[in-house]
Structure 1
């Protein structure tokens, strides 16, 4: 293998992901070749086809439905190590298992800590986008490997900056600092709602008066859309306040139980997400923001 080839990273993914080719182009990486399937009993089969000896390897993973995808991921990571990879880094644009970060009821598993300990044992570094941190200030409190968090706000600012006559809406107090900064940089006014969580799929959203903005298009901004109930309640509150056209832009679109169709059916006029999770609504590319963070991790791995 030539020295130039050794410096060229290999990027592996189990499925064709929207970020795969843009990241290969920006990182000057090669697509890693692998074979994977399931045995009749449901066990995973993974085979690496590329020569990885001395190569720095990246795993690009969609972890939006992690229970089916985690075992193949660590099988691949450990196989790359066994075959002589110089390093194995994980690019998980959406980082799962961030919700349960405390024991709210007796006997509950604190899955964010358990998952982080397990994953850290199989990778050398981690890059992600806007992880849903609550009670932890940074990923360093969870993960024992170097990690870099990419903020999606610049990508949202660029997209929103191309629009005119908008009202930006944050659904809850947790979003205020984030939405306020996006509003300042994109030049739009904003309001922040108050959310009361009544259960996993039941929330109540209350907004301040919005009648003065009834001639604007309201754009709800959120980091993750999972069940869609927060967005739905926010949509209903805006409509009750006299806003006729409501759209939504989010970083991660999980859309459990076809909640994207439910939101559109409820009257949402537009729905846009970044390409962190593959979906038809992907209209904002975060690869320009991801690439520098990945390059920094590769540089550190080469110097180790």
Structure 2
């Protein structure tokens, strides 16, 4: 038997997974004491059950300790396997030592996951210098790709889309979705000057003046990359641009800044619970989770 436990803030996504998989739902609570310490309480699993912890890791630091405590407690209380569903996986962009002494956080997070979870399900992690999640996390990892869901949303909401990638790192998502939609696409060139300072250089857009630009990326965090791309695009085209992304992290003020530039719509998946989460990927995540649970069961009885 498999039970789904939701970390705080992940209840809705856990409910969707339960509906799609038929797995049971169990209780989990996190209490914060006045001194800043945390108490985690879980419904006790039956011995030998599989436990699934649902916790998207946006704004990760306050979440990681309670998550580790929950995983260890479930295992101590008899769970045979503990699986993490983290639709958004943090720290993947810190995948190299860019300056002397910097931590390679992607590698360290992978080691932490190895120590706490038997399997991982995540959605389009930001893999740049790593070619596979298995270079970071050595256990059973399942990647869900959101391109199909984004393409379906764009097809339903945008007439004559022109897909615009803000930098070369967005190319894989832009080209995949452009192929699904049979739509034109362009990739801009980005110069980064700091965490919140970027310059975007767009190619010529004169051929597509009657198309609606869809600015597409995997993550909107500070929003500066999307914001500068939006400003550049608005100088060329009349239709209001649309912003779409897999993960809507949205640092403070990012969403308001985008809206202040006259964007037509902003849509992200529900990998992170946010007001822009119009694209449901829970079915795809549930399918990956079911595959992981079935393989683990087969290994046990095989």
Normalised by the length of structure 2, the TM-score is 0.95
What is the DSSP-based 3-state SS (H/G/I as helix, E as strand, rest coil) of the residue aligned with 1:164? coil
- Partner residue of 1:261? 256
- Partner residue of 1:177? 172
What is the DSSP-based 3-state SS (H/G/I as helix, E as strand, rest coil) of the residue aligned with 1:256? coil
1:173-212 deviations in Å (ceiling 9; x for gaps): 2222321221121132111111111111111111111123
The verdict on how the C-alpha distance between 1:77 and 1:159 changes in structure 2, with shifts beyond 3 A counting, is same
- Partner residue of 1:105? 99
Distance 1:193 1:16 in 2: 35
Distance 1:296 1:218 in 2: 37
Note the residue ranges of structure 1 that are not aligned, 5 or more in a row: 1-6
- Partner residue of 2:108? 114
Distance 1:176 1:46 in 2: 41
1:51-110 deviations in Å (ceiling 9; x for gaps): 342211101002101100000000000000000012100000000011211111111111
- Partner residue of 1:88? 82
- Partner residue of 1:202? 197
Instruction: Give yes or no for contact 1:24–1:30 (8 Å, CA) kept in 2.
Output: yes
- Partner residue of 1:166? 161
Offset, 1:214: 2.0
* 1:155 paired to 2:154: no
- Partner residue of 1:48? 42
What is the DSSP-based 3-state SS (H/G/I as helix, E as strand, rest coil) of the residue aligned with 1:257? coil
Distance 2:9 2:46 in 1: 20
Give the ranges of 4+ consecutive aligned residues of structure 1 lying more than 3 Å apart after TM superposition: none
Note the residue ranges of structure 2 that are not aligned, 5 or more in a row: none
CA root-mean-square deviation:
1.3
Offset, 1:16: 4.3
User: What does residue range 210-289 of structure 1 map to in structure 2 within 5 Å?
Assistant: 210-289=205-284
In the alignment, which of 3, 6, 23 is matched to residue 10 of structure 1? 3
| Worse-matched range after superposition: 251-260 or 31-40 | 31-40
What is the DSSP-based 3-state SS (H/G/I as helix, E as strand, rest coil) of the residue aligned with 2:253? helix
